[in-house]
Structure 1
Amino acid sequence: MTDVVLDGVDKVYPGGQVAVRNVRLRINDGELFVLLGPSGCGKSTILRMIAGLEEITSGVLWLNGAVANELSPRDRNVAMVFQEGALYPHRTVKGNMMFPLEVLGDDRAEATAKVVELARALGINTMIDRLPRTLSGGQRQRAAIGRALIREPSLFLMDEPLSSLDAGLRTELRVEIAALVRSSGTTTVYVTHDQVEAMTMADRMAVLRDGVLEDVGTPEQIYQDPATVFTAAFLSSPPINLLQATLWGVEGEGLLLDLGPQRLSIPWDDPRASSMISHHGKHVIVGIRPDTLAPIAAGSPAAPGTVLSGQVRALEFHGHEWLAYAEVGIPTVDANEVGGIKKPDEPEPEQIGLVGRLRALLGRSAVVDEPAPEGHAGHHRRSDLVFRIASGNRPNRGDHVALCVDLERVLLFGADGRRVTPVQR
């Protein structure tokens, strides 16, 4: 068993490409820790540096209290599972799982017994004499996981092991993987871009963007109390509503969130008010998850400053619920355009709108009449508010709706994308 500490770790490739920037992270002994983020955010690079497959440019890696920067992969006692399993094609399932024990010189009878026992736990005991090419994708991944687990490593590393499988199999295997690694007590670092995998499997998790840590905590902490607007948006399905606003402190009324054509009001006795008032007169980003919005029946009373209204533009049926999109006339925000690290050689995007981009791609004039957006409003985003409705109880397209906002669950971010109110960890 082991714990992992990354202390100010950087990875810079030849040519100056920075993959990982000043990562400070502790992974506790026996923990199932997930590295989550979009493609190219540096999560697999961190995994490979822990394994010793990538050199660390600067900073220190500690494994179980000892500096490991110069240790060879063999001396780190780690086992790794890749996206495609990487089984030996000429060996059977049994042969693949036996291989690490053969290298260690274990007794063959004892090794065979361990293979059979683990194969049964993985549900592949009836196919241990088959070659990898005769197995399904899920069966191959089970065999690869078995080969990694059987040597009882001190650290288990998994690099998107389920990404090539279909949705049903991913659901089944993520439950099995989580149960297996927890029962073994082995410290596990799991890389994925899938927020559902991360939320359902992790003891704790880290969200990365452009090689930088955005947030670290339990899945519940990061979902309910995200540190940045990027984290709030990345861990959100259906997507969180991100709205532009200006924050005003109004004596006798409270904190006013001026959304342009509409307003919300947070009372002075709200525990967040003392932090929010520091942004008086500033532009902020208001985060409202779809499940914090509730349609109000016609004629029903609602407290002033708690309602947003609009016209239903689109509906999506999801079986157990409907998702509705209401045009509210409030400028929206694209989380990918807020905060983060700007590449030095990255040109400013032309604010020509979607029509202009299409015309440019088709070789026509990119000059269009639509105005350039202001602030962080995505020029490809409509001013829709997404909300959830229980199945069988929905408005129709074109209907006017009034939506009550649960103000206690509203998230507020500064223009730099960081939370305005303190984040509890």
Structure 2
Amino acid sequence: MTDVVLDGVSKVYPGDQRAVRDVHLHIREGELFVLLGPSGCGKSTILRMIAGLEEVSEGTLWLNGGVANDLSPRDRNVAMVFQEGALYPHRTVGGNMMFPLEVSGSDRAEARAKVTELTRALGISSMIDRMPGTLSGGQRQRAAIGRALIREPSLFLMDEPLSSLDAGLRTELRLEIAALVRSTGTTTVYVTHDQVEAMTMADRIAVLRDGVLEDVGTPEQIYQDPATLFVAAFLSSPPINLLQGTAWAVQDLGVVLELGPQRLTVPWSDPRSPSLISLHGRTVLCGIRPDALTPVHEGTPGRTLTGRVRVLEFHGHDWLAYAEAGIPTVDANSVGAQRKAATAGAEQARAVPGGLGAFGGRLRGLFGRDGSRLEPPPEEEHEGHHRRSDLIFTSGTRRPDRGEEVRLEVDLDRMLIFREDGVRITPPRR
């Protein structure tokens, strides 16, 4: 086993094309660590630098406490599985899995026993004497995984090994892979663009975007407490509601979030309110997952949004509804796209000391004591809307009617609030 440390690692290709930007990352010994992100985000490049197939342009790569920048792939004791299982076509499944042991000079009887045991664990024992050309894609990939595992490497690297398989087989294999690598205790770095694979397999996940590390944490942490709006949106199925609004601090209410024609109120008791004060009069972005919106008959003032049901989707266990609400929405891919921080979310919105302070007089001119507007806000133009101004919500087994007007209670504690650049207004808890 080994641990992996990337200390300010970057990869620069000719023409100053930066595929990876100043990544700081510690992959712990024995961990199943997933690199997650869209195509072209740099996750496979990081994997190849760890394997020694790509040179590190800047920074230091450490393997098991030693600098590995100049180590050859052979000296790193890593095993790698690619998208397509690269098997020797002239060898059987058993012969492919035996090959690494033959090269290392292992005892032949012991090697056969290990192959037999591993093919049984992978569910391919009946195919041990078959040639790769007679196998399905899933069977070939199992054999490739077995050939990598049988070497007992100190580090196991997997580059989207399930991406070419059908959905049912991916589900089956991801469970087997996770169980196998955990049973061996081998440090594993797994690359995928599939959020379900990442969430179900990983001990921890690193989310990448345009070569920049956006967030690192356990699946629960980055889902429930994401550092950036991009992470919140990428790890969301069904899609998270990304709403654009303006924050107004109101002395006797809290911070009013003006979302187009609708409003939510974050009370002063909320720990996010000091950070929101500093954003008074400025754009904020709110992330609300569909299951954080509950249809109600009478909503609580300051916690309720309304809309008219436009589209319905039946998902078997519940209904997913899209309600026209008139609230501006934003595209996660356009928010913060030019931000070049090495680790997003490290910044914290500056709280304004002393409560409302100098804002007090202006606030009384903007809102009455009940929060009603006394004068209109300045008009602003915003770009990046990626869909209609719908609120997406789940309604359980009850099927709403198209055209029905609904009231949706918002779980404010679960609502995520971001600055205009997509960074959380308060840092995530890690």
User: Cα offset for 1:389?
Assistant: 1.4
Equivalent position to 1:417, from 397, 402, 422: 422
Aligned to 1:390: 396
CA–CA separation in structure 2 for the residues paired with 1:374 and 1:85: 50
CA–CA separation in structure 2 for the residues paired with 1:3 and 1:329: 50
Aligned to 2:243: 243
CA–CA separation in structure 1 for the residues paired with 2:314 and 2:301: 31
Deviation string, structure 1 residues 38-67 (Cα, Å, up to 9, x no partner): 000000000000000001111100000000
TM-score of the aligned structures, taking structure 2 as reference length: 0.89
Task: Confirm or deny: 8 A CA contact 1:244 1:377 kept in the other structure.
Answer: no
CA–CA separation in structure 2 for the residues paired with 1:422 and 1:19: 26
The amino acid across from 1:277 in the alignment is: I
The amino acid across from 1:133 in the alignment is: G
User: Cα offset for 1:233?
Assistant: 0.3
The amino acid across from 2:66 in the alignment is: A
Aligned to 2:64: 64
Where in structure 2 are the equivalents of 1:333-412 lying within 5 Å? 333-341=330-338, 374-378=381-385, 380-391=386-397, 393-412=398-417
Deviation string, structure 1 residues 328-354 (Cα, Å, up to 9, x no partner): 0011000100113379xxxxxxxxxxx
CA–CA separation in structure 1 for the residues paired with 2:381 and 2:123: 56
Aligned to 1:45: 45
Aligned to 2:198: 198
User: Cα offset for 1:374?
Assistant: 3.2
User: Cα offset for 1:277?
Assistant: 1.8
Where in structure 2 are the equivalents of 1:243-282 lying within 5 Å? 243-282=243-282
CA–CA separation in structure 2 for the residues paired with 1:388 and 1:260: 22
Where in structure 2 are the equivalents of 1:277-296 lying within 5 Å? 277-296=277-296
Aligned to 2:125: 125
Deviation string, structure 1 residues 128-168 (Cα, Å, up to 9, x no partner): 00011111111111101100000100000000000000001
Structure 1, unmatched stretches of 5+, are 344-372
Deviation string, structure 1 residues 186-218 (Cα, Å, up to 9, x no partner): 000000000000000000010000000000000
Q: Secondary structure at the match of 1:279?
A: coil
CA–CA separation in structure 1 for the residues paired with 2:99 and 2:154: 18
CA–CA separation in structure 2 for the residues paired with 1:146 and 1:208: 29
TM-score of the aligned structures, taking structure 1 as reference length: 0.90
Q: Secondary structure at the match of 1:109?
A: helix
Where in structure 2 are the equivalents of 1:78-227 lying within 5 Å? 78-227=78-227
Aligned to 2:301: 304
Aligned to 1:234: 234
Deviation string, structure 1 residues 283-305 (Cα, Å, up to 9, x no partner): 000110000001113xx3x3211
User: Cα offset for 1:16?
Assistant: 1.7
CA–CA separation in structure 1 for the residues paired with 2:330 and 2:337: 14
CA–CA separation in structure 2 for the residues paired with 1:160 and 1:5: 21
CA–CA separation in structure 2 for the residues paired with 1:216 and 1:130: 42
Bigger mean CA offset, 103-112 vs 176-185: 103-112
The percentage of aligned residue pairs carrying the same residue is: 76
The amino acid across from 1:411 in the alignment is: L
Aligned to 2:324: 327
Equivalent position to 2:311, from 311, 314, 317: 314
Deviation string, structure 1 residues 99-143 (Cα, Å, up to 9, x no partner): 111110111111111100111111111110001111111111110
User: Cα offset for 1:376?
Assistant: 3.7
Deviation string, structure 1 residues 315-368 (Cα, Å, up to 9, x no partner): 00111111100000011000100113379xxxxxxxxxxxxxxxxxxxxxxxxx
Aligned to 2:377: none
CA–CA separation in structure 2 for the residues paired with 1:339 and 1:132: 46
The amino acid across from 1:417 in the alignment is: G
Task: Confirm or deny: 8 A CA contact 2:246 2:257 kept in the other structure.
Answer: yes
Task: Confirm or deny: 8 A CA contact 1:210 1:341 kept in the other structure.
Answer: no
Q: Secondary structure at the match of 2:247?
A: strand
**How many residues are aligned here?**
391
User: Cα offset for 1:381?
Assistant: 1.4
Task: Confirm or deny: 8 A CA contact 1:275 1:422 kept in the other structure.
Answer: no
CA–CA separation in structure 1 for the residues paired with 2:170 and 2:176: 10
Q: Secondary structure at the match of 1:335?
A: coil
Q: Secondary structure at the match of 2:333?
A: helix
The amino acid across from 1:374 in the alignment is: E
Q: Secondary structure at the match of 1:336?
A: coil
Q: Secondary structure at the match of 2:395?
A: strand
The amino acid across from 2:83 in the alignment is: Q
Structure 2, unmatched stretches of 5+, are 341-379
Q: What is the Cα-based RMSD across aligned positions, in Å?
A: 1.2
User: Cα offset for 1:279?
Assistant: 1.4
The amino acid across from 2:253 in the alignment is: E
CA–CA separation in structure 2 for the residues paired with 1:408 and 1:311: 24
Q: Secondary structure at the match of 1:87?
A: coil
Task: Confirm or deny: 8 A CA contact 1:311 1:400 kept in the other structure.
Answer: yes
The amino acid across from 2:315 in the alignment is: H
